[in-house]
Amino acid sequence: MKNLFVVSSFLFLPILPCRGQTATVPKPSAPVRLITLDPGHFHAALVQKSMYKNVAPTVHVYAAGGTDLQQHLARVTSYNTRAESPTQWQQQVYTGPDFFAKMLAEKAGNVVVLAGNNQKKTEYIAQSLQAGFNVLADKPMCINSQEFKTLEGAFATAKKNNLLLYDIMTERFEIPTILQRELSRLPAVFGTLEKGTPQNPAVVKESTHCFYKNVSGSVLTRPAWFMDVTQEGEGLVDVTTHLVDLVQWECFPERALDYKKDIQVLSAKRWATNMSLTQFRAITKQNTFPDYLKKDLANDSLLKVYSNGTISYKLLGVHAQVSVTWAYKAPEGAGDTHYSLMRGSKANLVVRQGAAQLYKPTLYIEPRTPDAAYTQALQQELKKIQVKYPGVALKKVDKGWEVLVPESYREGHEAHFARVTEQFLEYLEKRNMPPWEVPNMLAKYYTTTKALENPKQ
């Protein structure tokens, strides 16, 4: 069955004054017209948590239908009807088994937003570019080596047709990560990046995520396919995408990488998170495991989700290690957490986010020789940081200094989707995407998919 319908809270709700400032509504003739394709992940809705200059408020949505689509539309409607700074999106929705062909034929927009089931995502990207659409895609853009080759071809198509293909890297906008990168570029503070060894990497990034979590103020309902690695992707190629991106972005800023010669994957390991049927029901609202998950069941009752992984690799001679772990539910007061270490010849820069930090990511400077000369140099160099980020300060702690960050800089994960989208829109309008972005996206996905080829259990 095929349906065409419009979802807009303003079609059936009176326009009432609100406590917050109403978001600016772009003119319908705005040059950017969004298409949301097969939304199955809440990240698709987070792109629309804000309005954008020169982006039309009408968004065309194409999907097969079902729960994933309903939840996406409900999230966007909740942004339209919130009390403070409501958005004013109008969603024109097409459902049917031919939704992708319909999207390609109708050409109702010029930017395709992709965030959902990853099984066909790479092919959707490639065909959308061939049809003349720009693409803003959630990670991962590919989940195996075969799809990596398709992605490589997609970037070639984008270049040939003067189109933009970009992935959503929200972690670049976390203030502790930004400051870690800034401080690592100050030789008097950091020195030079160590080379490290496989046993003692120079760069370590670890991320812990949770299946049970809150998004936009309510408990997130996960689609059942999210636990199927053939549809979502294994941990080695999913969240690790962010970590590999940050290694490149922080250690070799603005340098174009060549995945064919700059990267050597040394080893990889994968392991499962065990999930009971009761836990599965709580996050999916489904009473039984679907047939496609039965291959991953132990004793017909315990689901083994291979969402965890570690990659050890060399990037331009520097030993790096990235790890992702999925727990079912975070401790009280916690959520997704991040750990990051950069080892320099003069100091280590460490981001911690544990109970001691009240589960807020916190950056520390831990000098190798904390003498008066280093302290003086650090205080002097801090002034350069404060020009860019007023209010940043230092607090003496046992191993060095804690970097104090004003709360105004801590926007939160959901707000970073608007940041990435604004960056994408600037690149689209001004055609000023840095030349290193495309080769480094390829380097990133080469690293993750290469690691998946022969992981240890």
Reply yes or no: is the peptide bond before residue 17 cis, omega within 30 of 0. no
- CA 144 to chain CA centroid, nearest Å: 18
For residues 216 and 78, the answer to whether their CB atoms sit within 8 Å is: yes
* Contact residues for 192 (Cβ-Cβ < 8 A; gap 6+): 344, 345
Q: Token pair of 298, please?
A: 């132990």
Question: From CA 55, how far away is CA 76, in angstroms rounded?
Answer: 16
Question: From CA 74, how far away is CA 56, in angstroms rounded?
Answer: 20
Nearest to 442 by CA among 229, 166, 202: 166
pLDDT for residue 30: 64
Q: Token pair of 220, please?
A: 């997130």
pLDDT for residue 412: 87
In this structure, what are the phi and psi dihedrals at residue 151, rounded to the nearest 5 degrees?
A: -65, -40
Nearest to 134 by CA among 116, 105, 115, 155: 155
One digit per residue, pLDDT tens: the chain, 457 residues?
456 655 543 333 333 333 333 344 344 446 899 999 999 999 999 999 999 999 999 999 999 999 999 999 999 999 999 999 999 999 999 999 999 999 999 999 999 999 999 999 999 999 999 999 999 999 999 999 999 999 999 999 999 999 999 999 999 999 999 999 999 999 999 999 999 999 999 999 999 999 998 777 778 899 999 999 999 999 999 999 999 999 999 999 999 999 999 999 999 999 999 999 999 999 999 999 999 999 999 988 899 999 999 999 999 999 999 999 999 988 777 778 899 999 999 999 999 999 899 999 999 999 999 999 999 999 999 999 999 999 999 999 999 999 999 999 999 889 999 999 999 999 999 999 999 999 999 999 999 999 999 998 8
**Rg (Cα) of the chain, in Å, rounded?**
22
For residues 207 and 308, the answer to whether their CB atoms sit within 8 Å is: no
In this structure, what are the phi and psi dihedrals at residue 237, rounded to the nearest 5 degrees?
A: -115, 5
Q: Token pair of 60, please?
A: 């065309």
β-pairing verdict for 318-329 and 302-315: antiparallel
Question: From CA 149, how far away is CA 362, in angstroms rounded?
Answer: 38
Domains in the chain: ranges and CATH? 3-168+415-450 (3.40.50.720), 172-409 (3.30.360.10)
* Contact residues for 210 (Cβ-Cβ < 8 A; gap 6+): 326, 327, 328, 329, 330, 335, 336
pLDDT for residue 331: 77
For residues 255 and 181, the answer to whether their CB atoms sit within 8 Å is: no
Amino acid at 242: H
Bin 96: left if φ > 0, else alpha if -120 < ψ < 50, else beta: left
Q: Token pair of 443, please?
A: 């380097």
**pTM score, two decimals?**
0.91
Alpha-carbon torsion angle 381, 413, 335, 457, nearest 10: -90
- Where do we find the tokens 């370590």? 204
In this structure, what are the phi and psi dihedrals at residue 400, rounded to the nearest 5 degrees?
A: 160, -115
For residues 355 and 208, the answer to whether their CB atoms sit within 8 Å is: no
* Contact residues for 16 (Cβ-Cβ < 8 A; gap 6+): none
- Where do we find the tokens 């031919």? 98
Reply yes or no: is the peptide bond before residue 28 cis, omega within 30 of 0. no
* Contact residues for 12 (Cβ-Cβ < 8 A; gap 6+): none
